[in-house]
Amino acid sequence: MLSQGKDGLFGAKTVVSDSLKSVLETNLVKGKIAKEIVLENGRTYLASISPVEVDEKRAGKVCVLHDVTEYKALEQQKSEFVAAVSRDLRTPISQLSGFVSMLPMVGELNTQQKEISEKINKNLDKMGQMVADLLNLERFEAGVELNLEKFSPMDLLDQVTVQLQAQATQRKVQLMKELSVYQDIQMDADRVEIQQALVTLLENAIKYSPLNGIVHLRIDVDEKNVTFVTQDHGQGIAPLDLPFVFERTKKSTRKDDKSSGYELVIVKTIAERHHGKVWVESKLGKGSTFYLEIPIFQENNKRQK
């Protein structure tokens, strides 16, 4: 009876769908759930399932379908547009950066000209990073499969620490890596993606640490997950910003936030691609602690390697 108005319900053809049947058979532990499904008619629906109770006893369930086909199509068009614009911007940004670097060859720059040149370079770097982040998101959203391999999370943490040591030294920030009893543990994940996520978290910790500050790094392990933890003692995150840290809609109130705004969105996407999660605990004026939790084994992801 999909796509029928109230006057067209009588005599309407019953829709038989394996996808819908699967949703209706979902076991509701408590509350309601929402699930996106594609029916045999090719349209996409958001299925909201709620329990029905009579005299405080479970009597059944009701499923309401919202047709989101047009919305999904617009979302896809928007993603394709952003990806196309991002790809087209790479060349001019690269060329502009090259031209700016060649300015001293024309003649010695005075102090004011050097300052202007540095500002141009900083903004070009920011634009370049934004383009790279958008293209990364587009690649993830396209459903590129994980390149799974076994590796030591401690070795990866060591590698990322060495990679960012110069940046930390420049800001006079000390990186303190806690000794772990999990030296020999191996995890199954896309090493490149996990490294990218860790670099982002550690870069943020360094960037928002005070001069002569300390950033603590460690891993926690339980039966199912490896959790990478980065802790800084910087300015912290305002309560107003906290719910949106990992969202595209994030609008930071930090005056010194010069990031593209997509770095932590990518970290969240990487975590979710591994059936993991990322979260943050923060107090204004005290610092922030980020947690990246990844399952040790990727049983639900197709092995590439």
Residues 100 and 212 in one domain: no
Q: Which of 14, 40, 67 is the last residue of a domain?
A: 67
> Quick one: pLDDT band at residue 304, thresholds 50, 70, 90?
very low
Give the model confidence (pLDDT) of 125-138 as tens digits: 878 877 877 777 77
Residue 237 or residue 253, greater confidence: 237
The more confidently predicted of residues 39 and 79 is 39
CATH for 185: 3.30.565.10
Q: Identify the domain containing residue 16 by its residue range.
A: 6-67
Domain boundary among 85, 115, 141: 141
Domain annotation covers residue 305: no
Please check whether residues 193 and 279 belong to one and the same domain. Answer: yes
Q: Is 93 helix (H, G, I), strand (E, B) or coil?
A: helix
Do 63 and 87 lie in one domain? The reply is no
What are the structure tokens assigned to 74, written together?
């617009």
Please write the tens of the pLDDT for every residue from 238-277. 998 888 899 875 555 555 555 556 889 999 999 999 999 9
pLDDT at 142 over 90: no
Averaged pLDDT score across all residues of the chain: 82
Same domain, 175 and 280: yes
pLDDT digits (tens, 9 = 90+) for 155-205: 999 999 999 999 999 999 999 998 777 778 899 999 999 999 999 999 999
pLDDT the model gives residue 250? 54
In this structure, the number of other CB atoms found within 10 A of the CB of residue 8 comes to: 10
The predicted-structure confidence for 200-224, as pLDDT tens digits, reads as follows 999 999 999 999 999 999 999 998 9
Specify whether 160 is located in the same domain as 101. no
199 and 180 in a common domain: yes
Residue 204 burial by CB count (10 A; 0-12/13-18/19+): exposed, middle or buried?
A: buried
For 71-119, write each residue's pLDDT tens digit.
888 777 777 776 777 777 778 888 888 888 888 888 888 889 888 988 8
pLDDT given at position 27: 67
CA distance 200 to 280: 14
- Give the CA distances from residue 43 to residues 19, 50, 145, 154, in Å, rounded to whole numbers and listed in that order: 12, 22, 25, 46
303 confidence band (pLDDT: 50, 70, 90): very low
Q: Is 283 in the same domain as 162?
A: yes
pLDDT at 278 over 60: yes
State residue 122's pLDDT score: 83
Same domain, 92 and 226: no
Q: Are residues 154 and 276 in the same domain?
A: yes
pLDDT at 305: 40
Would residue 72 count as lying in a domain? no
pLDDT of residue 277: 95
pLDDT on residue 104: 86
Domain limit, last residue, from 141, 168, 197: 141
Q: Which pLDDT band, with edges at 50, 70 and 90, does 46 fall under?
A: confident
Q: What was the pLDDT predicted at 1? A: 46
Instruction: Look at residue 304 and tell me if it is in a domain.
Output: no
Strand partners, 218: 229
Percent of the chain scored above 70 by pLDDT?
A: 84
* pLDDT attached to residue 258: 53
135 and 167 part of one domain: no
User: CA-CA distance, 139 to 135, in Å (whole number)?
Assistant: 6
Per-residue HEC secondary structure of the chain comes to CCCCCHHHCCCCCCCCCHHHHHHHCCCCCCCCEEEEEECCCCCEEEEEEEEEEECCEEEEEEEEEEECHHHHHHHHHHHHHHHHHHHHHHHHHHHHHHHHHHHHHHCCCCHHHHHHHHHHHHHHHHHHHHHHHHHHHHHHHCCCCCCEEEECHHHHHHHHHHHCHHHHHHCCCEEEECCCCCCCCCEEEEHHHHHHHHHHHHHHHHHCCCCCCEEEEEEEECCCEEEEEEECCCCCCCCCCHHHCCCCCCCCCCCCCCCCCCHHHHHHHHHHHCCCEEEEEEECCCEEEEEEEEECCCCCCCCCC
- Does pLDDT of 279 surpass 90? yes
* pLDDT above 80 (res 58): no
Q: How far apart are CA 113 and CA 277, in angstroms?
A: 46
Domains identified in the chain, total number: 3
Residue 292, pLDDT > 80, answer yes
| Mean local confidence (pLDDT), 143-162 | 92
Q: What are 105's two structure tokens?
A: 């060859």
